[in-house]
């Protein structure tokens, strides 16, 4: 049984917009460490505790962003595992012009994302000073950590969770190079026979995943599944050991990462 750790620090109160501003030096570009479809991630230091954190500020003007925020909060509030990114608290309020502000505050991962290590040329300045190569044992241990997180989400949660976007940029590495799966904004809850309509509507955001990592059937409108997460895990595993992204320019004219490996290793 994997050791577990809380995914939500109940002793840490919700933070205000003013706290976000101070922690990130008014959302300075020098503190920007990542950006996605629904939000930007900043490095910040909480004034009271001096704790370095990662703050995901939601782009509420983007279609589906608010829904993604609620899904991530719902997914992270009850899950506990050492290979899942730990959420410390949230910001849910208004800025000084009374505009809504939503943000998720996470434990800061000293070694950035797996994406930064696999493809350093395509990364942000946060990678400066970090080594650019993972050794074989590190790759194995990271892969085992991600597999442990998936097993927990799929089979050990009270309500199973499908991650739906398992890619290197959503796998974070702490100071000891332990993998932590993050970004549950596209997650899907499997309610089985006791299907909860409201929660299902909340987690219904259309196509889930990222091109290259999402299984082909998702593009044809098929329901998300545990098998879909395993497909994404398999693509990421090939990427780790081959060194090529599934969207690399090498793959054109119907050649895929999976097909490339199959041809290279026919037996």
Residue 82 class from Cβ within 10 Å (0-12 exposed, 13-18 middle, 19+ buried)? Answer: middle
For 106, phi and psi rounded to 5 degrees?
Answer: -115, 160
Q: Does 100 qualify as catalytic in the annotation? A: no
Class of residue 177 by CB neighbours under 10 A (exposed 0-12, middle 13-18, buried 19+): middle
Q: Which residues pair with 91 in a beta bridge?
A: 103
Q: Which residue is catalytic, options 165, 248, 249, 253?
A: 165
Cα separation, 20 vs 30, in Å, equals: 15
Choose among 235, 209, 113: nearest CA to 168.
113
DSSP state of 30: G
H/E stretch holding 139? helix 136-151
Catalytic residues: 165
């Amino acid at each position: 049984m994997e050791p577990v750790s809380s995914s939500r620090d109940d002793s840490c109160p919700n933070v205000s917009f003013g706290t976000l501003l101070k922690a990130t030096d008014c959302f300075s570009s020098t503190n920007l460490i990542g950006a996605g479809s629904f939000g930007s991630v900043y490095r910040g230091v909480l004034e009271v505790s001096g704790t370095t954190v990662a703050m995901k500020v939601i782009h509420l003007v983007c279609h589906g962003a608010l829904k993604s925020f609620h899904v991530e909060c719902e997914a992270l509030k009850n899950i506990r595992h050492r290979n899942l990114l730990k959420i410390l608290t949230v910001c849910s309020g208004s800025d000084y012009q009374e505009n809504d502000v939503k943000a998720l505050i996470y434990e800061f991962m000293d070694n950035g994302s797996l994406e930064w290590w696999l493809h350093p040329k395509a990364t942000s300045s946060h990678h400066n000073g970090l080594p650019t190569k993972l050794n074989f044992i590190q790759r194995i241990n990271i892969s085992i950590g991600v597999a442990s997180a998936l097993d927990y989400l799929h089979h050990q949660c009270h309500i199973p969770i499908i991650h739906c976007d398992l890619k290197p940029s959503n796998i974070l590495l702490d100071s000891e190079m332990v993998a932590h799966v993050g970004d549950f904004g596209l997650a899907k809850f499997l309610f089985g026979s006791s299907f909860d309509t409201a929660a299902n509507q909340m987690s219904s955001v259309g196509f889930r995943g990222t091109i290259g990592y999402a299984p082909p059937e998702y593009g044809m409108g098929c329901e998300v599944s545990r098998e879909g997460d395993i497909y994404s895990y398999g693509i990421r595993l090939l990427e780790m050991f081959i060194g090529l992204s599934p969207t690399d320019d090498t793959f054109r004219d119907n050649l895929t990462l999976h097909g490339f490996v199959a041809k290279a290793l026919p037996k």
